[in-house]
């Protein structure tokens, strides 16, 4: 089966058009488009939750925030980390480029076990917030001894 060269040219033109559309889509997704839109879509702060036996440990990346900028609450079995990143420009200066936008955030998620909120601790070091949540005694893992008969 033979094809005309002009038919192939149209096919390649369609492929080029598809590539342009895909490039535009990925630029918007990457955040190289409007910075405010990207900040609104991004999940921030990034968090990891680990089960450490008697405790649940939550680590969150919160660079540039102080402890006064954060609020941590536990209600029933829901943990909420909220806060605000403020960006202040120095007096008598004009902004030439601003890539770090002010941001208010709130992340909530259900914990996998019941916790003792009285034994909860939070520590921040080098932009990493570490929250240690102690499990209630009945939710902690127990060692079962084996009896020989």
pLDDT tens column, 106-126? 999 899 989 998 889 999 999
**pTM reported for the whole predicted model:** 0.64
Among the listed residues 136, 122, 121, 112, the one whose alpha carbon sits nearest the alpha carbon of residue 50: 112
**Backbone phi and psi for residue 104, each to the nearest 5 degrees, phi listed first:** -105, 140
Name the phi and psi angles at 40, rounded to 5: -70, -35
Mean pLDDT of the chain: 82
Count helices and strands (H / E) in the chain.
2, 7
Best-predicted range by mean pLDDT (8-12, 20-24, 56-60, 101-105):
56-60
Task: Confirm or reject CATH 2.60.40.790 for domain 45-139, answering yes or no.
Answer: yes
**Interatomic CA distance for residues 73 and 30, integer angstroms:** 32
> Average pLDDT for residues 85-95, to the nearest whole number?
80
For the chain, the structural domain boundaries read 5-33, 45-139
What per-residue confidence (pLDDT) applies to 32? 46
Among left, alpha and beta (phi > 0; psi -120 to 50; other), residue 59 is: beta
């Amino acid at each position: 089966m033979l094809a005309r060269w002009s038919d192939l040219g149209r096919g390649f033109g369609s492929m080029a058009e598809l590539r342009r559309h895909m490039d535009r889509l990925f630029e918007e997704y990457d955040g190289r488009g409007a910075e405010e839109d990207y900040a609104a879509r991004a999940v921030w702060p990034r968090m990891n939750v680990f089960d450490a036996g008697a405790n649940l440990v939550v680590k969150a990346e919160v660079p540039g925030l102080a402890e006064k900028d954060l609020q941590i609450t536990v209600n029933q079995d829901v943990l909420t980390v909220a806060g605000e990143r403020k960006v202040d420009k120095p007096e008598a200066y004009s902004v030439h480029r601003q890539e770090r936008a002010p941001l208010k955030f709130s992340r909530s998620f259900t914990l996998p076990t019941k916790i003792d909120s009285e034994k909860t601790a939070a520590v921040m070091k080098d932009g990493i917030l570490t929250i240690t949540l102690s499990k209630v005694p009945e939710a902690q893992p127990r060692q079962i001894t084996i009896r020989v008969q």
